[in-house]
Amino acid sequence: MKHITEYRDPALARNLVDRIRECAGQTGGASIMEVCGTHTVALFRFGIKQALEGAVRLISGPGCPVCVTPLSLIDKCCLLAARQDVIIATFGDMIRVPGNRSSLQKELASGRDIRVITSPMQALAIARSEPEKRVVLVSVGFETTTPMIAYTLLSACDERVNNLFVICANKLVPPVLKALIQDKDLALDGFLCPGHVSAAIGARAYNEIAHAAGIPCVISGFEPLDMLGGIYELLSLKRNGEAKVVNAYSRVVTAGGNTKAMEVMRKVFEPCEALWRGIGSVPQSGLRLRAEFTHFDIDRHIQLEVVETEDISGCICGEILKGKREPVDCPCFGDSCTPEHPLGACMVSSEGACRAWHRYNT
């Protein structure tokens, strides 16, 4: 097993830090958005954000699937969990997110049947072994996760399992990036594009953003040298006045992406307008089940009254997700909002910007 230690070489990392600082000195600094929550955490964890302080402003983007999921979805899940005939299957990250009244973790502590899964196929296995129950898979995530959910639903069709359902809030990355660059307040010099999502959608998916909007896009992996290399690449592009897509994660990402995965995703889901927590409604940025798969939609079987509410007062998650403000600018940060008692989604998810700032703040 390799591909880890080679990308953590301290001497090479320190050399890249020096070169980035030198380049930033020539270009008058840079504002770069790391789109992905895994990048946010890795940048802190490996000390890169700290090492580049004063030279490169790294802004955390909307790429944490938990953070951008609307509160009403949590409320819906909690109401569903209260029913005797329902088993909720969810990724671990979702269980701590507070809704308006409760969270899945609190529902779990009070004895509801909520199963933490690591693969959507586990939800299908639960449905198979508990045929008298309705198993509801909390379907969130980007182009990385959605194909696996789509495959699970196709498998359920093949196996004629009819007690598996989804509550669906899946999202797409390129449309929200396009929406973000419309915002004139956000002066970005480049996107550090998510390695995992790019492996699915392919490097070409960013062409429109780079060419039409003139914002350089560099795809990066998650090891220290990957991220430092990606940032250096973005600064070089800025210095040379070039706006193009550079794939700095070519050991994983191809130009065309994982066509099979995208095909499976498109077979089951189609794009729709979607609500991003804190950001608002973005056209064509969400996914809904295609007509022939809507029987999986739990909304069709169980009617739930859930009111779409504003975010918690005082919390500036929305501004943070848009990269306009930083967690420390929030009056709640570290005070009424902590990892033990989170108010906003950015503090809940282990990959949320506030959580990462709180955890790694020196």
Partner 1 sequence: MTIDNEEEVITLGHGAGGVLTGKLVRDIFLNQFNNQVLSRLGDAALLDIDAHRMAFTTDSFVISPLFFKGGDIGRLSVCGTVNDLAVMGAEPLFIAAGFIIGEGFSLRKLEAIAQSMRAAADEAGVAIVTGDTKVVRSQDIDELFITTSGIGRLDTAKGLSARPVTPGDTIIISGTVGEHGMSIFIEREAIALAHAITSDVAPLNGMIRAVLEGGCEVRCMRDPTRGGVATALNELAEEKGVDLLIRQEHIPVSEEVAACCEILGFDPLYIANEGKALFVIDPEDAQKAIAILRKHPYGKEAQVIGSVLEGKGHKVFLETFSGAHRQLEELTEDQLPRIC
Work out whether 258 is an interface residue with partner 1 (CB under 8 A): no
- Rounded CA-CA distance 55/49 in Å is 10
Considering only CA atoms, which of 82, 139, 178 is closest in space to residue 265? 139
Distances from the Cα of 261 to the Cα of 18, 145, 165, 186, 254, angstroms: 39, 10, 21, 33, 13
Tell me the per-residue interface mask from 192 to 221 with partner 1, x by CB under 8 A, - otherwise: ----xx------------------------
Phi, psi for 110 (deg, rounded to 5): -90, 15
Work out whether 2 is an interface residue with partner 1 (CB under 8 A): yes
- Rounded CA-CA distance 112/134 in Å is 13
* Part in contact with partner 1 (CB under 8 A); list of ranges 112-120, 201-209, 262-270, 311-319: 112-120
Residue 199 vs 246, nearer CB to partner 1? 199
Tokens of 97: 């997110």
Q: Between helices 259-268 and 146-159, what is the axis angle to 10°?
A: 60
- Rounded CA-CA distance 193/257 in Å is 14
Considering only CA atoms, which of 194, 203, 76 is closest in space to residue 145? 194
Q: How far is the CB of 288 from partner 1 (least distance, A)?
A: 19
Among 35, 66, 261, 289, binds partner 1 (CB under 8 A): 66
Tell me which residues in 217-256 interact with partner 1 (CB under 8 A). Answer: 222, 224, 228
Tell me which residues in 78-107 interact with partner 1 (CB under 8 A). Answer: 91-96, 105-106
Tell me which residues in 124-183 interact with partner 1 (CB under 8 A). Answer: 140-142, 144-145
Q: Between helices 353-360 and 37-45, what is the axis angle to 10°?
A: 10
Site size for partner 1 (CB under 8 A):
55
Among 23, 24, 38, 247, binds partner 1 (CB under 8 A): 38
Radius of gyration, alpha carbons of the chain: 21
Binding site for partner 1 (CB under 8 A): 1-5, 8-10, 13-14, 16-17, 37-38, 41, 44-48, 50-51, 65-66, 91-96, 105-106, 109-110, 116, 118-119, 140-142, 144-145, 196-197, 222, 224, 228, 339-340, 350-351, 359-362
